[in-house]
Structure 1
Amino acid sequence: MITDCVIEDERWDAVALEDLAERAAVAVLEHLDLGTEGYEIAVLACDDARIQELNADFRDKDKATNVLSWPSEERAPDEPGEEPYYPETPDPDGPPEELGDIAISYDTCLREANDAEIPFENHVTHLMIHAVLHLLGHDHIDDRDATLMEGIETEILGKMGIPDPYTI
């Protein structure tokens, strides 16, 4: 398993977040040809109150959000629109390559899925893919980076049979 989920909010059990997170992580790593062995991602499945605390502590934004990510290393590219510095394939005999941590809020995800009239599981899968890409050095602050990241997200989602969330 790539993902290790800590479920703080039991509502996540009804949508099998562990399975969604694992499928999303595997899909990203396979799509980027990084292999799927030897990586590790910690996922905190929480509610709006908890993610608001984390957002305030780490981003100075005292409000809830859908997902947060903390990469274990800086992998951002030198220039906007370029590919990040992806990790080397982990040594199968060594310790796992820790890609970082993700926190995801049930309340905000549910509200966003309902507002967009899309299946909750599809939205959560998209956000997990988005967060894993952040762990791998992708960002969306610059338009060129956003175009690259969103393109990768929609390609992966398409392979999973999930419609493009940016055309909804």
Structure 2
Amino acid sequence: MSFSIDLQVDVDDKDLPGADAFERWVSAALKGHRTRGEVCIRIVSAEESQTLNREYRGKDKPTNVLSFPFEAPPGIPLDLLGDLAICADVVRKEAQEQNKTLQDHWAHMVIHGTLHLLGFDHITDDEAEEMEALERKLLADLGIADPYESA
């Protein structure tokens, strides 16, 4: 598999996973779907997350992960999958509220966002079931417990 990650960190947070962890999680999500590609992961503040969420989803609050799939213009072959904007503050808060390790929740958010870049969604119940089942499997393969099971 040939892929690359452009990791952009715009927050000062000593507990962020290392670049190797982000690569492992993106690789897990892409396995069986893509053999190559580039993903930009931007770790953002609550303020930036809120601005992006308001601008692109009409929701005026920060959120855990936003996915921006890339669509190449016709006739331009690019292996860019798209961008993820992940809010470090929201990920930390959710991990605490859900009694999950911070590292495991980061893994879930990266895999969840990457699956969105691949075209998976959770708007309908059927889509949600398919996406959540895939997330459970990918995380289990990494030794991470079911993120949807109540703690």
**Same fold at TM > 0.5:** yes
Structure 1 residue corresponding to 2:111, chosen from 113, 129, 136: 129
Name 1:99's counterpart in structure 2: 81
Q: Distance in 1 between matches of 2:58 and 2:94?
A: 22
Segments of structure 1 that go 5 or more residues without pairing to the other structure are 75-94
Residue 99 and residue 33 in structure 1: after superposition, are their counterparts in 2 closer, same or farther (change >3 A)? closer
Q: Match of 1:28, as an amino acid? A: A
Q: Is the 8 Å Cα contact of residues 17 and 103 (structure 2) preserved in structure 1?
A: no
Residue of structure 2 in register with 1:16 after alignment: 17
Partner of 2:28: 27
Unaligned residue ranges in structure 2 (runs of 5+): none
3-state DSSP of counterpart to 1:99: strand
What TM-score do the two structures reach when normalised by structure 2? 0.89
Correspondent of 1:109 among 77, 87, 91: 91
One-letter code aligned to 1:34: R
Q: CA RMSD in A?
A: 1.9
Matching residue's letter, 2:117: L
Offset of 1:118 from its aligned partner?
A: 0.8
SS across alignment from 1:166:
coil
Tell me which of the two structures has the higher relative contact order, counting C-alpha pairs closer than 8 angstroms and 6 or more residues apart. 1
Would you say the 8 A contact 1:9–1:45 is kept in 2?
Answer: yes
Q: Secondary structure at the match of 2:8?
A: strand
Alignment pair present for 1:162 and 2:139: no
Q: Paired residues, what number?
A: 145
1:117 offset after TM fit, Å? 0.9
Shift in Å, 1:96? 5.2
Q: CA deviation at 1:152?
A: 0.5
Off by >4 Å, runs of 4+ in structure 1 = none
Aligned equivalent of 1:68: 66
Q: TM-score, normalised by structure 1?
A: 0.80
Matched, 1:153 2:142: no
After TM superposition, give the deviation of residue 17 of structure 1 in Å.
Answer: 4.4
Tell me by how many angstroms 1:62 deviates.
Answer: 1.0
By how many angstroms is 1:49 displaced?
A: 0.8
- The answer to which of 14-23 and 133-142 deviates more is 14-23
